[in-house]
Amino acid sequence: MSLNVSEVLVQQAIAGAVEEQIFAETIRQSLPYAWGIVETLAQRLEAGEEWADHAVPPPDEQARGQLLRMVGGDAIRGAVERHFDLKLAFQNCHRLAVFDRDAWDSAAYRNFISVRSQVLNQTPDLKDC
């Protein structure tokens, strides 16, 4: 299961409208490792960095799973991006970067998401991550 959803959230979804703030809080509680990484990276953006990334391998498979669930699900990823007002980018099994929401055309963002960059970030220890 990706998220630990409350009955309140389930009932909102049944009724047709889910409160974004409650959904974001559900993500924070369900995926604390991944949320913490994004929170730290967002603080670096707020401090003036053009972009920030986290390339430290997760401490265990549970943490890796949290990160993959956060970036792999469009609804989850979108809610996190809106909550922090940033753009997420992901490489390999754990390299997560954040950019300003308007960075779609920035050289740094284009470089990070490029095929070239993905190829250069391949290492044998990441083969089965």
Report pLDDT for 104. 72
Decide if 111 contacts 117 (C-beta within 8 A).
Answer: yes
What is the reported pLDDT for 129? 58
Its pTM stands at 0.89
- Residue-level pLDDT at 105: 80
Q: Residue 97 and residue 86: Cα distance in Å, rounded?
A: 10
Ranges of the chain whose pLDDT falls below 70:
1, 123-129
Q: How far apart are CA 39 and CA 83, in angstroms?
A: 10
Which residues contact residue 86 at a Cβ distance below 8 angstroms, ignoring those fewer than 6 apart?
38, 41, 42, 45, 98, 99, 100, 101
pLDDT in tens, 18-45: 999 999 999 999 999 999 999 999 999 9
Q: Output the pLDDT for position 78.
A: 96
